[in-house]
Structure 1
Amino acid sequence: MGKGEGRDQYELAATSEQGGKKDKRGKKGKKEKDRDLDELKKEVDLDDHKLTLDELHQKYGTDLSRGLTVARAAEILLRDGPNCLTPPPTTPEWVKFCKQMFGGFSMLLWTGAVLCFLAYGIQAALDDEPVADNLYLGVVLAAVVIITGCFSYYQEAKSSKIMESFKNMVPQVDNSSLTGESEPQTRTPDFSNENPLETRNIVFFSTNCVEGTARGIVINTGDHTVMGRIATLASGLEVGQTPISREIEHFIHIITGVAVFLGISFFILSLILGYSWLEAVIFLIGIIVANVPEGLLATVTELTSDQLDDLLKHHTEIVFARTSPQQKLIIVEGCQRQVPAISLAYEAAESDIMKRQPRNPKTDKLVNERLISMAYGQIGMIQALGGFFAYFVILAENGFLPMRLLGIRIDWDDRNLNDLEDSYGQQWTFEQRKIVEFTCHTAFFVSIVVVQWADLIICKTRRNSVFQQGMKNGCGSQNVPSEGLTVARAAEILLRDGPNCLTPPPTTPERGKFCKQMFGGFSMLLWAESLLFFLAYGIQAAMDDEPAAENLYLGVVLAAVAIIIGCFFYYQEAKSSKIMESFKNMVPQQALVIRDGEKNSINAEEVVVGDLVEVKGGDRIPADLRIISANGCKVDNSSLTGESEPQTRTPDFTNENPLETRNIAFFSTNCVEGTARGIVISTGDHTVMGRIANLASVLEVGQAPISREIEHFIHIITGVAVFIGISFFILSLIHGYSWLEAVIFLIGIIFAIVPKALLATVKVCFPLTGKRMARKNCLVKNLEAVETLGSISTICCDKTGTLTQNRMTVVHMWFDNQIHEADTTENQSASLDAKACVIHGGDLEELTSDQLDDLLKHHTEIVFARTSPQQKLIIVEGCQRQGAIVAVTGDGRNESPALKKADIGVAMGISGSDVSKQAADMILLDDNFASIVNGVEEGRLIFDNLKKSIAYTLTSNIPEITPFLFFIMANIPLPLGTVTILCIDLGTDIVPAISLAYEAAESDIMKRQPRNPKTDKLVNERLISMACGQIGMIQALGGFFAYFVILAENGFLPMRLLGIRIDWNDRSLNDLEDSYGQQWTFEQRKIVEFTCHTAFFVSIVVVQWADLIICKTRRNSVFQQGMKNKILIFGLFEETALAAFLSYCPGMDVAFRMYPLKLGGKGDLLLNYRSTSHHFTRVL
């Protein structure tokens, strides 16, 4: 065999002899990427530790005494590239921005804005004087999406580079970075193990030589080294959605579906009832816009931001050694670390939230039936009732009794009819009727806000009462080579193989990240609504010489909100988006090589295959080395093989497994003592660590459960909004409305259905949790992973040096739904018959996927020993196939693929390697495992608070939709206008909804079972039934009561209002008679109408007081929870003050068409109702 001819016998995945770095950096198809991933998952195929020194000389062409020539070294360096680990590509900023601006709820809001603009455009094209409501709504929705998107982008960019300064945040320690050994391992020229990671005659790249001396031949450099493989593997893993992300996505699907469904339904109904197609389209758009939760995006943003600081505060200790039936399995791996003692004592977890079983993402959804039932079926209906009450009161006060309103819509909106009589015979002009109508809008709005006061308090808790929760919201004998490669030969090899560094994985362009933040999730809802309002305004402008700018303003506001939130989240993501940043810190900067018989200290990236390398104690192995001589050499392989003690390295072949043999030292491991000399056998991505890194870099990880939930909810709410909007559109056409009016109705309905406050809630919830975890010494990189931690059912943690040697002790465990005393030291550990098993890595290598699945299914306690990084990844994937939510804890680079693949990876901040910190979702800065308990509680709290906020925000949908329904079906003056709806969704509801993100955990939160993402949804039937079918109806009744009262007080009894709409809205009719024969001009009627809008608005606000209080808890009563949430208390005062300001501040009649009212209240009824219903429906 000629010199260098054996190099092609050792080729690892992701590289080729001819392709070098160019192939790695080129674009790969999915099939090629999958093949590389499969290759990286295989065990290290390395035989250099078995070769004699003569065979090494023949294979690498290295003079064992003089080393490589300078020219040869330069040649190899040019071929293989520098001996360094390559960073991954990054996601373009514009992608991040677009993600924030058009993702999730933002797209719904964008849709709403577009629909509003469309409606306005249709109105403008068909009407000489189109009403600008839709234009304002479209502008507002677009502004909301833009503001929220920019805010989200800013927040994401702020945290995307969080690991760049991580070295300044954690103590500098000797990381047993590759094999997990806690003691230095001896390195000798003797082959001692078949496993190159276990043999003592190989020293690995980036490990430290802590004592002694050694000389070796470089066998791998850069990405070809073992450490390079690990880096490539870790960086290629694609992180999926966390449970909370899936929940939010699920919620988005729900909201989208509901909005579309309701919009279409109203569209069809409008056509059936004789409304023109334009009116039906307006109804469709209005329904869809109304269903989009504009505030939820901002809420999640703020909640996640604040919770990041909290994780750096507490030091609680825990390891899950025994779990509940939902926590199916414990997989412990060999790795000893210097960590604090661990306990399962519920110190900071004494509260109810830590006593609950882990959330099952399959069943415990963020939005489930109970939440939907409560928000829509109960709270929302209450709000709608309150709004309609205010609506009918105002109309009745103006002479239009409820019966008079039936069928009056055409006459009411007839500009030419100025003598429409009310219930008393009084004639009303078009302007007068519109004033009354807009007053009703205001009344309906105020009614919703009032009811939302109670709704906000109700949503504080899920299980406890508000009184319990409180209102606190705050490595021979042969001839040893001595010459090494010649410089020329080294240069030749470098040219062939490329630098000794790891190849960076592909990254998401920044523009992709930006677009995700700007247009993903809830932001898209805001954009949609904004565009709808712009469209409505455009239609109005095309058809009316003097179009009302209301839709334009609304579209601008919604777009601004979406842009701001999207930009903020893009900024936050940009700060934490580079997973491979610290791999450069892992690669040794210098390496001592022997070329042409002379020792030279060169850049580690220039190390080539065949180089003769010497390492001593304290050095990090620059590449995969075949040890040819050693003097007391020990290498720390803890991060690669999990050994807790340093492993001796000798030239002797000791094991068939290259990871177990003693004559190979691996890239990035540390030589802790002695000296050794070895031949480089792999560099860069060809190393064992490089394979691991490549494996991690190409792993595809799915969405987090909460992300799927939120996306699903967005789809639902979008669908419902569109359906109802179209239904109203059709109804409008059926009832004889013009197509322009139908389009306006469609936009109004869509606008009313979309819960705008949910956008803010979602955007607040995750950062808030991240801040709280930061205060507990937990650095959360993936904010959505915190909620995943609250849903975990399987934990994979270290065994060697932790559980077995009492470095970390389990003192309590959850089993059979009870907490038991436990001890896991070696002489006291016990297991259940036929439920526990021990699997060696060699046995695991022979198991098929089906066999592994069977073991995982029928054994609740499994110990996996002597496993490779690839096997750890396979174990995690097996657990996930069983439907488990998997958490992985680790500190070595060998755990990086598993950390990346797990639903949530937890790394050690002090003893953990840089790679494990980069691959993990959460870092325990003080290695205190008790922080995991805090994380579980925080994860459950996120889910709870999101659920509460959704329940609160959904309740106002009913009182916002029902006015359109009565307006179309009964032809009565519009009880609640789109401007007042916007005042509710983005005014009075936004702070209370966000305040629920600050709600403290309920006392039983840690006693619950883990949430099943498949069954426990974020939005379920119960939530919808309560929010819409009960509370929402109560709010609607309150609003309509105020509406009819005001109209009756003005002479328009309810019967007079029936069918009066056309005359009421007729600008030319200035003698419309009320129920008493008094004539009303158009301006007078509009004043009364706007007063009704105000009354309806105030009625909703009043009912929302009680709704907020009852939403404080899910299971406890309000009395158990207490009123300790200061933000919630502030929210109550804020929405009250805002409602009062909008109702009584001079100029509001011009700006928002809201007129002052007499005082009244009805929130106590809702509060008493909700407290009673808490005993029958304990969980939303």
Structure 2
Amino acid sequence: MWFTKEIQDVLKEYDSNEATGLSSQEVKLRLEKYGENKLKSKPKKSFFQLFLSQLKDMLIYVLLGAAAITLFIGEYVDAVIILLVVILNAVIGVVQEYKAEKAVEALQKLSNPKALVKRDGQTLEIQALELVPGDIVILDAGRFVPADLRLIDSANLQIEESALTGESVPSEKSASEIYPNLKTPLGDQSNMAFMSTIATYGRGEGIVVATGMNTEIGKIAQILDEDNNELTPLQVRLEELGKTLGYIAIGICILIFAIALIQKRDLFEMFLTAISLAVAAIPEGLPAIVAIVLAIGVTRMSKINAIVKKLPAVETLGSVNIICSDKTGTLTQNKMKVMKYYTLDNLNEVDDNNEINNPDSIKLVQGMILSSDATYENNEGTGDPTEIALVQLGDHYGIIKSKLNETYPRVGEKPFDSDRKLMSTLVKSNDKFLVYTKGALDSLLKISTHVIKDGKSIPLTENYKSEFIKTSEELSNKALRILALAYKEVETEISSDEMENDLTLIGIVGMMDPPRLEVKSSIETAKKAGITPIMITGDHKTTAFAIAKELGIADDISQAIMGTEIDEYTDEEFSKLINKIKVFARVSPEHKVKIVKAFKSQGNIVSMTGDGVNDAPSLKTADIGVAMGITGTDVSKGASDMILTDDNFTTIVHAIEEGRNIYNNIKKSVVFLLSCNLGEVVTILLSILFFWPVPLLPTQILWINLITDTLPAISLGMDPGDKDVMNKKPRNPKESFFAHGAGPRAIMGGILIGLLTLGAFFYGLYEHGYTLGSRNIPEDVLTYARTMAFVVLAASQLFYSLAMRNPTKSIFQIGIFSNLYLIGAIIIGFILQFSVISIPFLANAFKVHNISIQDWGLVILFALIPLMINEIVKIFLRKREARI
């Protein structure tokens, strides 16, 4: 086993070079040999399996039973039509499910973890699935371990391995250790790093020794067979609604059958009518439509730089009323620039003058560069924006990092820690060593005993401390971020524990990360939408407030609070205070969790952004955890519900707008389907109750249900959305699906469609001298009247879909042609309906025949009435809204 072997033996066995890694050619060969570095997912269902899964429904079983009975009694045409409807429904379901799966797969690919590797002598970031055994992988804090690694180098490396060992405390790693005992437990193998664990501290390098299913996590995956396809809360509610409607429909069917027995009607005809009515009453297409609308929605969101990892997040987005956002990179450009620098009694501004003569200032710039891990070449930087700014400062003054590193090579370091707020490096200077420590000024003042002045080290008195603090505050008041630097000279190489004491303070730099140009307008949009933007930052209070005021987040310094002040409050006291605060400065990751919980305790729906390892708890605690796609660690991305590929606050606001519209589109589809189904129920139920001829045959109901359950409903789900959706308050997550008049709209639409269908049927009889109460109506007259009802029912539902696009705006306000999918669905619906009554073969099958031009005009007029009445009602609703 790899943990029993020396580093050089492992490198030799995999024919890999520690410095240069594998060659591209070798990677291709090994990829063919070992395959992609991924765990095997459950085998995908074939089209046939998907098709069969669509048939697993009680109502489908009933329909198939009805088809069998019609075949038995010789009604072959009816049997064929019923079977065709069942098959077509299943095919549509398969297509919808396939599209939804493909959309989700595409999004999962976008959020795949990445790995930092050495190849061809270069350091590259690649997709983790491209790793092969023998690759040299670089680990740093915040990265997922992408495969099983034998560590070949480590510097204070700690890895959280609870996914494998169950231990919540991170394990300390040491590449130099060797364990000869083959039975050494995983948790004790400190020279190994395992796939799907998380580096939480320090740095390291390792050689890939196992990928995919050959990893330790892969062995567990072989044992487990999990199904993670969870229904969203909305889908659960709609499934419950479907069951309720199902019970109601079955009750109605039993009632119809009982009445038919009393009225001595044709029992077989009533049996088929009852079955078709049950299918019509239950919107069995809802789950599929919701799934595809959600999938289309999240695909659309990915195009605006928001990758939604979990479908329930789409629903929750519409209810968000608090956006807690990091300042750096999200509200600002994440392109730090040093504006001023200060050494004792010497404040300078960075301008076009590229000369720097003061020896203290030169030492400050050099020290800042030597303690930076960033690079800046050809006007492009890599690394942390703050550190890039420091290297860029040196570049501005002709102090080049690469040359400086050659003169003062780094030999040790103590990584940055959010509790210490410091990082230190040890560099070699001729026969001596220099320690450079950079970080927060208050932290450095505690561990510094001297200060540089005119090139000499003098005691750091209280007066000098006050000078630094005063200058720091002045710069902070101008929204500049302060970074301090201290150093000490030592004779021999020292450990990291000895670095941060007895330091000599050199100076501070003030840098600014300018606000993103588009953020201010996005904050205004959020406020209009009833959303409160909150700034959370590690910067000083005055710095944070200056940016917050400029962006319109806060108006007064009293709306800002420090992390140390948060600690003074109990959870209950903090919860009462929370709604008054807009800026949280100098906060730790632990404070973020407390902030989220406090906001949630006041009934708010909270979105929280984060990018670091320690942000994972607050991202998990928030209703919507938002990770940064560019600067975010794999840990933060793993803990989040949504990833911003551009790290931009504006994208969050756009995502909320999209989330609101997606929810509204689903609501439109549902209300529309329920209106149509209610119209069919009203038509049949009233005709049975009053002992009138049944205006629609079972096959006709199934046909209409098929048309209205698919194209128009899906097209409504693809509606561009309401441009004014962000002028409304967030949706209460507890509100009924039928709130704000959706229930009455569905009932009104259903009753109108049902009554007009009966009216068309009556008119068809009346044209030939018969009424609804007539007995012994000739079959051709009955066929003509049913054709009128058949066309009116289908046409009125197709037209009524236009009214569903907005609850208050008219179709002219939103634009008749602004949803071309819906217009296309209506046109296709009419073509299909016209084909059924005009093509002899189909007309005979559905027991209809063509109608006169005059009757076509009447049918269109009847079909437009529900739409027109709905538009009239909207006029009164708009007037009421204007008064409010």
TM-score scaled by structure 2?
0.57
CA deviation string 1:952-976 (max 9, x = no partner)? 2222223312332244323333201
1:590 to 195, 201, 205: 205
Q: Which residue of 1 aligns with 2:874?
A: 1174
1:1133 to 824, 827, 846: 827
Deviation at 1:932, TM superposition (A): 1.6
Q: Which residue of 2 aligns with 1:1113?
A: 806
1:216/1:954 CA distance change after superposition, 3 Å = closer
Between the aligned partners of 1:1002 and 1:1148, the Cα distance in structure 2 is 40
1:1031 to 741, 749, 771: 749
Between the aligned partners of 2:640 and 2:563, the Cα distance in structure 1 is 25
Q: Which residue of 2 aligns with 1:932?
A: 652
CA deviation string 1:980-1005 (max 9, x = no partner)? 22222222563222222332332421
Report if the CA contact (8 A) 1:896-1:916 is conserved: yes
CA deviation string 1:525-557 (max 9, x = no partner)? xxxxxxxxxxxxxxxxxxxxxxxxxxxxxxxxx
Between the aligned partners of 2:164 and 2:124, the Cα distance in structure 1 is 16
Q: How does 1:818-829 map to 2 (within 5 A)?
A: 825-826=543-544, 828=546
2:161 to 210, 213, 223: 223
Between the aligned partners of 2:156 and 2:329, the Cα distance in structure 1 is 32
Q: How does 1:622-1021 map to 2 (within 5 A)?
A: 704-736=232-264, 743-755=271-283, 758=286, 761-799=289-327, 806=513, 808=515, 811=520, 812-813=523-524, 825-826=543-544, 828=546, 837-840=561-564, 843=567, 851=572, 854-855=575-576, 861=582, 863=584, 866-868=587-589, 872=592, 876=596, 879-880=599-600, 882-900=602-620, 902-987=622-707, 990-1015=710-735, 1017-1020=736-739
Q: Which residue of 1 aligns with 2:841?
A: 1147
Between the aligned partners of 1:1122 and 1:857, the Cα distance in structure 2 is 43
Q: Which residue of 1 aligns with 2:188?
A: 497
CA deviation string 1:801-840 (max 9, x = no partner)? 7667555466345669889999995353557799765445
Report the 3-state secondary structure (helix = DSSP H, G, I; strand = E; otherwise coil) of the residue aligned with 1:1116: coil
1:136/1:905 CA distance change after superposition, 3 Å = farther
Mapped pair 1:156 → 2:101: yes
Report the 3-state secondary structure (helix = DSSP H, G, I; strand = E; otherwise coil) of the residue aligned with 1:1054: coil
Q: Which residue of 2 aligns with 1:1047?
A: 765
Between the aligned partners of 2:681 and 2:690, the Cα distance in structure 1 is 14
Percent of residue pairs bearing the same amino acid type = 27
1:114/1:223 CA distance change after superposition, 3 Å = same
Report if the CA contact (8 A) 2:159-2:170 is conserved: no
Between the aligned partners of 2:822 and 2:644, the Cα distance in structure 1 is 31
Report if the CA contact (8 A) 1:730-1:742 is conserved: no
Equivalenced residue count is: 618
TM-score scaled by structure 1?
0.44
Report if the CA contact (8 A) 1:733-1:742 is conserved: no
Deviation at 1:888, TM superposition (A): 2.3
Which amino acid in 1 is paired with 2:306?
A: C
Could you tell me which runs of 5 or more consecutive residues in structure 1 were left unpaired when the two chains were aligned.
1-66, 75-86, 177-201, 209-213, 234-474, 476-481, 505-579, 592-601, 607-683, 686-697, 1061-1071, 1075-1079
Between the aligned partners of 1:970 and 1:802, the Cα distance in structure 2 is 66
CA deviation string 1:611-669 (max 9, x = no partner)? xxxxxxxxxxxxxxxxxxxxxxxxxxxxxxxxxxxxxxxxxxxxxxxxxxxxxxxxxxx
Report if the CA contact (8 A) 1:951-1:1027 is conserved: yes
Between the aligned partners of 1:773 and 1:490, the Cα distance in structure 2 is 52
Q: How does 1:380-391 map to 2 (within 5 A)?
A: none
Between the aligned partners of 1:819 and 1:221, the Cα distance in structure 2 is 38
Larger relative contact order (Cα-Cα within 8 Å, sequence gap ≥ 6): 1
Deviation at 1:1027, TM superposition (A): 2.5
Report the 3-state secondary structure (helix = DSSP H, G, I; strand = E; otherwise coil) of the residue aligned with 1:1010: coil
Report the 3-state secondary structure (helix = DSSP H, G, I; strand = E; otherwise coil) of the residue aligned with 2:737: strand
Between the aligned partners of 2:531 and 2:309, the Cα distance in structure 1 is 31
Alpha-carbon RMSD? 5.6
1:769/1:207 CA distance change after superposition, 3 Å = closer
Q: How does 1:468-479 map to 2 (within 5 A)?
A: none
Q: Which residue of 1 aligns with 2:474?
A: none
Between the aligned partners of 1:1170 and 1:916, the Cα distance in structure 2 is 48
CA deviation string 1:752-796 (max 9, x = no partner)? 212356456424422332333233233333345234223212323
Q: Which residue of 1 aligns with 2:786?
A: 1093
Q: Which residue of 1 aligns with 2:42?
A: 92
2:57 to 110, 115, 121: 110
1:888/1:1095 CA distance change after superposition, 3 Å = same
Could you tell me which runs of 5 or more consecutive residues in structure 2 were left unpaired when the two chains were aligned.
11-36, 126-138, 146-151, 218-225, 332-478, 482-512, 536-541, 549-553
Report if the CA contact (8 A) 1:892-1:916 is conserved: yes
Between the aligned partners of 2:643 and 2:608, the Cα distance in structure 1 is 12
Which amino acid in 1 is paired with 2:743?
A: I
Between the aligned partners of 1:901 and 1:774, the Cα distance in structure 2 is 24
Which amino acid in 1 is paired with 2:682?
A: T
Report if the CA contact (8 A) 1:175-1:912 is conserved: no
1:798/1:226 CA distance change after superposition, 3 Å = farther
Which amino acid in 2 is paired with 1:1024?
A: G
1:865/1:873 CA distance change after superposition, 3 Å = same
Between the aligned partners of 1:217 and 1:584, the Cα distance in structure 2 is 12
Deviation at 1:1174, TM superposition (A): 0.6
Report if the CA contact (8 A) 1:790-1:935 is conserved: no
Between the aligned partners of 1:1152 and 1:789, the Cα distance in structure 2 is 46
1:1152/1:736 CA distance change after superposition, 3 Å = closer
Deviation at 1:171, TM superposition (A): 12
CA deviation string 1:573-605 (max 9, x = no partner)? xxxxxxx6x9799998834xxxxxxxxxx6699
Q: Which residue of 2 aligns with 1:650?
A: none
Deviation at 1:843, TM superposition (A): 3.6
Q: Which residue of 2 aligns with 1:1103?
A: 796
Report if the CA contact (8 A) 1:976-1:1092 is conserved: no
Between the aligned partners of 1:978 and 1:822, the Cα distance in structure 2 is 58
Which amino acid in 1 is paired with 2:808?
A: R
